[in-house]
Structure 1
Amino acid sequence: MKQVDVIVIGAGAAGLFAAIEAARRGRRVLVVDHAKAAGEKIRISGGGRCNFTNLGIAPDRFLSQNPRFALSALKRYTQWDFIARIDAAGIAWHEKTLGQLFCDGSARQIVEMLLRDLAEAGGELWLDCAVTGVARAGEGFSIDLSRGQVQAASVVVASGGKSIPKMGATGLGYQIATQFGLGLIETRPGLVPLTFSAQELEWMVPLAGLATQARVGCGRAGFDEAVLFTHRGLSGPAVLQISNYWREGEALQVNLAPQLDVLAVLGQAKQEAGRSALRTALGKFLPEKLARHLEAVAGILQPMAEISRAELARVAGLVQAWRLVPVGSEGYRTAEVTLGGVDTADLDSRTMMAKAVPGLYFIGEVVDVTGWLGGYNFQWAWSSGWAAGQVA
């Protein structure tokens, strides 16, 4: 029977990082994953360039039942620490927008860096290896694997959430947490496109493929980013962001021109370009296809000079006060993350260890900590993995 100091379940961002840190402390480390390749979510993220962190990391950009839980790990291993590691590895990067950092080249560079660091630290990696059971064995643990049984002093669960099941996502981490008496916060898809009823889709579908800047809000949350019209509803960064805050039955508020006083702009067009069509006035600040569509929705055919102020106000409302209620989301199939997870009340925020189960750790997406779109979830993986790796 193989014996190690630390077994890490999951060879993703958090798991590899925790394993590297533990191995650098001289611990005998084994990483296991049922997938055939390590770091697959890293590889496909950011269009293949990996949005590996964000310059604007702050606790208020993470969702959790206890929003302050993530603070300890994020402060002790920061975005600047990971950037320094990327620089030391010779990986070129750039800032895209809103503090989002991407590799200049392939995301594979980060996977290769992590695997190289793990090997150099003496860590071992078993791929295509399923976990079939985890049990207490004295002061340590006995882990049943498809390749045999392993005994370990510590178990680090970094198995991720339920998002993107085609990549092999499972609920294993939640099962282990429940088995050892830890609480779970309800899980649901996060950073996911939203879907709408046939009535709403009737006028959205003709715009499928169109993207435009907008402000999308729900309750007190709101995001000014791109919105993408699809055949099923709405996507794009602003919609993915707000999906983390939206719950079924709630309405979204969409402003297609958040920087403008649209009524004033239309009033000016009425005075200065009275012979022009409404779509022409709208096309000054909206994509032409969207401008034409809104003109059709408004049912206004006369030139600007003949449109009453009340009608212009109605059009401005279509542009800036669009209220709609999604019927659901596209689910885990396309969700980038899983909201909810292992209850942070049962974890030590400094070490990520289960308070009632010495030697058992939970890190990354499996925990009830979910970041905004734009590198926040990778930073949580690095930070929480680092925290566990210092003590496991």
Structure 2
Amino acid sequence: MEYDALVIGGGACGLMCATQAGLLGKRTLVLEKNDKVGAKILISGGGRCNYTNLHTDIENFISENPAFLRSAFAQWTVDDTMDFFKQHGQITGEEKTLGQLFPKSNKAKDIVAVFTKLMYETGQDVWLNTEVVSVSPVDDGYAVAVVKAGKQKMVHAKKVVFASGGLPVAKLGASDFAIRMAKKLGLQIVATAPALVPVTITGKDAPWYASLAGNAVFSRVYNDKIAFEENILFTHWGLSGPAILQISSYWRAGESFLINLLPTADIEQLIKKERNAGGKRTISQLLQPYFTRKMVEALGKFLPIDLKIASLSKADAKLVADTVHHFPVKPAGDKGYDKAEVMRGGVSTDELHAKNLESKKYKGLYFGGEAVDVTGWLGGYNFQWAWASGYLIAKDL
């Protein structure tokens, strides 16, 4: 069978690429290591799939060159994503927190079904349980070595698309295959690391965090680069929750960040108001309306919570404000790729044409999705990049 392109990976980018290619009258072969396509889509958003974000902008992405995204998001917009799923799957979106768009059905499988239906209708082929071993340039394109049903085969195509994702969630077939092949071909790679990942706390502070396991607190988590206001979640091994996952993408080993545990109020003003009312309540009583009893008790490690406000010295008042609004955290590390939502880094955007994501050095070789040095925030941004990159590549096949 002659194909216009081989697509390595049946995830978000690969499925969009093959589907759009089919709608343009082209034939692709999708090579997927799992026994089904869209494995990571199916578990996203707790199985509900936040398939885009209404506020998508290049500022919501980490890359050595965020401006590289301008072309992609001009060619495939959030409206295009919404229209695509509505037209081909009768999927209408429902906005949840901070612009996240979920299918009204709350079923990620409905998103995957759009692609499988269209690929069938347009005659795209899919080889499941197929591992790609190598991709080598040859005179008339590329020779791709695969292992299918325990047997090695060679497949040839003029064009090859790397849409094989990154390292997070190995049990779903994640790998660094695209990165390894890009390195082998001499392409520049931006250092990779887990992103959108929980952080761990060890040492003398570990028991304090563990004692609060299960407590969620709406907070402002920040460093000198950025700030996020969402929930944090205390765990037996450290911190998780949306705000922690977000800041993790901007955190490096050895660094610290700060947490404002009460971004909706000003402790100094609350203390002042309490003093004016006689200051009979204790710090513990002052904090109780804002935190769980367990959280207030835990803060007693750092604060004189049984002291009455009227007895607070200026130093004590400052200590309370600093602890609540500027709580310092120095993680020992993170939970790694198995718990990370995405991978940071990847094939450098300097190696790719912005208009179609084709390699500048190898004609007919494309990289999209997570394999590229483009990492979105939590909340549907990475899907929008996957759809956009798949579309850009498909137009050029």
Q: TM-score, normalised by structure 1?
A: 0.96
Q: How does 1:8-23 map to 2 (within 5 A)?
A: 8-23=7-22
Matched ranges for 1:186-205 at <5 A:
186-205=191-210
1:255-270 superposed matches below 5 A: 255-270=260-275
8 A contact 1:267–1:309 mirrored in 2:
no
Same amino acid, percent of matched pairs: 40
Q: Give the counterpart letter for 1:90 in structure 2.
A: Q
Q: Which runs of 5+ in 2 are unaligned?
A: none
Cα distance in 1 between the residues matched to 2:287 and 2:251: 29
Structure 2 counterpart SS, 1:51: coil
- The amino acid across from 1:104 in the alignment is K
The residue that corresponds to 2:351 in the other structure is 346
1:96-117 Cα shifts (integer Å, max 9, x gaps) = 1111111222100001111111
Show the counterpart of 1:96. Answer: 96
Tell me which of 289, 296, 304 is aligned to 1:299. 304
Shift of 1:219: 1.7
Q: Is the 8 A contact 1:164 1:335 kept in 2?
A: yes
Contact conserved, 1:35 with 1:127, CA < 8 A, in 2? yes
Alignment of 1:1-392 (within 5 A): 2-88=1-87, 89-105=89-105, 106-147=107-148, 148-272=153-277, 274-392=279-397
Residues 267 and 312, structure 1, Cα contact 8 Å, conserved in 2:
no
1:314-335 Cα offsets, whole Å, 9 max, x none, are: 1111100112211111111100
AA partner of residue 194 (structure 1)? V
Contact 1:251 1:324 in 2 (8 A): yes
SS at match of 2:300: helix
What is the Cα deviation at residue 291 of structure 1? 2.1
Structure 1, gaps ≥5 residues long: none
Provide runs of 4+ in structure 1 moved above 6 Å: none
- Partner-residue secondary structure (3-state), 1:186: strand
Shift of 1:296: 4.3
Question: Which stretch shows the higher mean deviation, 97-106 or 335-344?
Answer: 97-106
Give the whole-Å Cα distance in 2 for the aligned partners of 1:149 and 1:5: 16
Q: How many residues are matched?
A: 391
What TM-score do you get using the length of structure 2 for normalisation? Answer: 0.95
Letter in 1 for 2:140: E
Residue 174 and residue 78 in structure 1: after superposition, are their counterparts in 2 closer, same or farther (change >3 A)? same
* CA RMSD of superposed structures (Å): 1.4
- Secondary structure, aligned partner of 1:3: coil
- The question of whether the paired residues in 2 share the 8 Å contact of 1:271 and 1:305 is answered with no
How far, CA to CA, are the matches of 1:112 and 1:274 in structure 2?
Answer: 62
In the alignment, the residues of structure 1 paired with residue 307 and residue 231 of structure 2 have an alpha-carbon distance, to the nearest angstrom, of 31
Q: Name the CA distance, whole Å, in 1 between partners of 2:339 and 2:376.
A: 17
